[in-house]
């Protein structure tokens, strides 16, 4: 068994513009798949990978998670809430968790990405990291060419295994310039050194402090791998069509 990663950061302080108008009053991570909110699925994934502390990055005044926590199956785990006072980007949101994480490796899970997998993706990341002496690793999956310009894309060295050394990362590449069809999915196993990189980060694509830019520095300094993870299905529930597909999928009777 790989050494377990104790802490998971869940950024949930974004604006949710693609899901307006409901996100004016219901935070995106509380949209339901059947009777459970998205946040329930991602916390379950982190807990099943061995996490003891869940660090939620929320906008001030949007701490629904505090009221929901006692009703979950993981109420015995520690919930920590930190604030991002302004939605300056995913990289900035992760940086807000620096003091809560401290000096140890940690997961980041985006709560709008819901993955059904034979082994939870966080567990797959921990196993992959252990096989490379603890190197940081991020989850990637192939996407069709027409979707690449709206996603983060990795440039990787060829490898006979699903664990690929990353050469570069590009956020929202201009059409026709993506270095591969492998996109960054929303599950990361990161080193605490990234917090220094985030502190010094400047706004990148779409004027936001991008996690991708700090990941590039990590890749150059200490090495970073991309894991093409095993999945049954992955849904981007940050858009109404992805959310609907997830409800249809989880709503089907299972044999
Ligand atoms: P998204 O890229 O989905 O952004 O962020 P968003 O703002 O929520 O949604 P749109 O693009 O406006 O529709 C991925 C995750 O990162 C969090 C979001 O809450 C979401 O869970 N995030 C993003 C933050 O916590 N802070 C930010 O400044 C940006």
- The closest of 147, 142, 177, 166 to 219, measured between CA atoms, is 166
CA distances from 96 to 10, 36, 75, 232, 249 (A): 11, 27, 23, 32, 34
At 219, give phi and psi (nearest 5°). Answer: -60, -45
For helices 121-130 and 38-48, give the axis angle rounded to 10 degrees.
30
Question: Under 8 Å CB-to-CB from 67, ≥6 apart: which residues?
Answer: none
Is the pLDDT at 40 greater than 70, yes or no? Answer: yes
31 close to ligand 1 (CB < 6 Angstrom): no
Is the pLDDT at 60 greater than 70, yes or no? Answer: yes
pLDDT given for residue 22 in this prediction = 96
Distance from the alpha carbon of residue 255 to the mean position of ligand 1, in angstroms: 35
Q: How far, rounded to the nearest angstrom, does the alpha carbon of residue 105 sit from its chain's CA centroid?
A: 14
Report the C-alpha gap between 195 and 92 in whole angstroms.
10
Report the C-alpha gap between 28 and 246 in whole angstroms.
14
239 close to ligand 1 (CB < 6 Angstrom): no
User: How confident is the model over 190-212, as a mean pLDDT?
Assistant: 90
What would the two tokens of residue 235 be? 């849904």
pLDDT given for residue 62 in this prediction = 92
What would the two tokens of residue 16 be? 């949710």
- The closest of 123, 105, 108, 111 to 65, measured between CA atoms, is 111
Ligand 1 atom closest to Cα of residue 19: 13
Report the C-alpha gap between 72 and 131 in whole angstroms.
33
User: Atom 25 (ligand 1): residue with closest C-alpha?
Assistant: 13
91 close to ligand 1 (CB < 6 Angstrom): no
User: By the 8 A CB rule, do 74 and 28 touch?
Assistant: no
User: How confident is the model over 109-114, as a mean pLDDT?
Assistant: 98
Is the pLDDT at 229 greater than 70, yes or no? Answer: yes
Is the pLDDT at 1 greater than 70, yes or no? Answer: no
pLDDT given for residue 254 in this prediction = 78
User: How confident is the model over 87-111, as a mean pLDDT?
Assistant: 97
pLDDT confidence of 156, banded at 50, 70, 90?
very high
User: Atom 5 (ligand 1): residue with closest C-alpha?
Assistant: 14
User: How confident is the model over 46-66, as a mean pLDDT?
Assistant: 96
Instruction: Kindly report the average pLDDT of the chain as a whole number.
Output: 95
238 close to ligand 1 (CB < 6 Angstrom): yes
User: How confident is the model over 1-23, as a mean pLDDT?
Assistant: 91
């Amino acid at each position: 068994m790989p050494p377990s990663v104790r802490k998971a950061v869940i950024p949930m302080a974004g604006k949710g513009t693609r899901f307006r108008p409901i996100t004016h009053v219901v935070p995106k991570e509380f949209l339901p798949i059947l009777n459970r909110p998205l946040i329930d699925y991602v916390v379950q994934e982190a807990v099943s990978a061995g996490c003891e502390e869940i660090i939620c990055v929320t906008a001030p005044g949007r701490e629904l998670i505090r009221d929901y926590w006692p009703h979950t199956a993981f109420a015995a785990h520690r919930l920590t809430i930190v604030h991002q006072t302004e939605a300056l980007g995913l990289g900035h949101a992760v940086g807000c968790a620096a003091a809560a994480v401290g000096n140890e490796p940690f997961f980041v899970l985006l709560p709008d990405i819901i993955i059904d997998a034979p082994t939870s993706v966080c567990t797959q990341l921990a196993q992959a990291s252990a096989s490379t002496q603890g190197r940081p690793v991020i989850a990637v999956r192939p996407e069709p060419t027409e979707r690449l310009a709206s996603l983060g894309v990795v440039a990787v060295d060829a490898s006979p295994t699903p664990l690929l050394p990353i050469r570069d990362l590009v956020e929202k590449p201009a059409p026709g310039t993506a270095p591969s069809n492998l996109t960054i999915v929303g599950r990361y196993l990161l080193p605490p050194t990234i917090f220094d990189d985030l502190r010094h980060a400047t706004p990148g694509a779409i004027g936001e402090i991008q996690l991708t830019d700090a990941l590039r520095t990590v890749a150059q300094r200490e090495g970073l791998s991309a894991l093409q993870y095993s999945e049954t299905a992955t849904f981007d529930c940050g858009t109404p069509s992805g959310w609907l597909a997830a409800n249809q999928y989880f709503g089907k009777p299972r044999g």
